[in-house]
A and B are shown apart, each in its own frame.
Chain A
């Protein structure tokens, strides 16, 4: 079991650039979650998918953020254009639909200068 795989591990970009974060969930898991973690706000749920369908994106801060899950093994979180306040650690997590706990990836540390 390779666990949840996120890439890149670190991303440094300039304000106004497009950023794409990637996630591969654990095989067989039906739910995928994107979280953002900052010192000020803790772990915030941005969006989650069930069976590749976005269910709740109410946590997405602005229209600059978008997420897709084209198939069961891949998801992206895109920020366009990026701003310095988007700097945070972004975690992807997956779980089965049956109520089992979330398994987190190692996160992507994003720095927008």
Chain B
């Protein structure tokens, strides 16, 4: 079982619709969760991070976390063609060897390719 799993897609949605991206993880001790967007040929860029159960909204983006189910999702409202990219879910795994101060090891899922068509 992979540590962080995502549906590879492609997920195709019409412009203006809600895109829902999902991610599950295996390490119950994980505390921090991130969504990155990666355009073809570019580096990953951070969209959202979430630490607590529930929803966190930032503009058109909402991250949802359910630690009991080991599930994190990203909703994109009013999807635009410019949102077409690969979305990477990342989970921070604590590592005592790294000392105190938070997470030390960020594991990425394989990514879900989103295509928003006009």
Interface flags for A2-42 (1: CB within 8 Å of B; 0: not) read 00000000000000000000000000000101010000001
B:41-63 near A, CB below 8 Å = 42-46, 49, 51
B88 CB contacts on chain A under 8 angstroms: 43
Asked if A99 meets B101 with Cβ closer than 8 Å, knowing A43-B88, A104-B44, the reply is yes
* Chain A contact patch, size range: 20 to 34
A31 CB contacts on chain B under 8 angstroms: 98, 104
Distance, CA A33 to CA B90, complexed state (A): 14
> A43 and B44: CB pair below 8 A?
yes
> A55 and B32: CB pair below 8 A?
no
Q: Per a CB cutoff under 8 Å, which of B31, B51, B110 touches A42? A: B110
A98 CB contacts on chain B under 8 angstroms: 101-102
**A92 → B minimal CB distance (Å):** 10
Q: 7 tightest A-B contacts by CB?
A: A99-B102, A97-B101, A43-B108, A104-B43, A42-B110, A50-B98, A101-B46
22 contacts between A and B (CB under 8 A): A31-B98, A42-B111, A43-B44, A45-B108, A50-B98, A50-B104, A51-B99, A55-B97, A56-B104, A97-B102, A98-B102, A99-B32, A100-B102, A101-B34, A101-B49, A102-B46, A103-B46, A104-B44, A104-B45, A105-B43, A106-B42, A106-B43
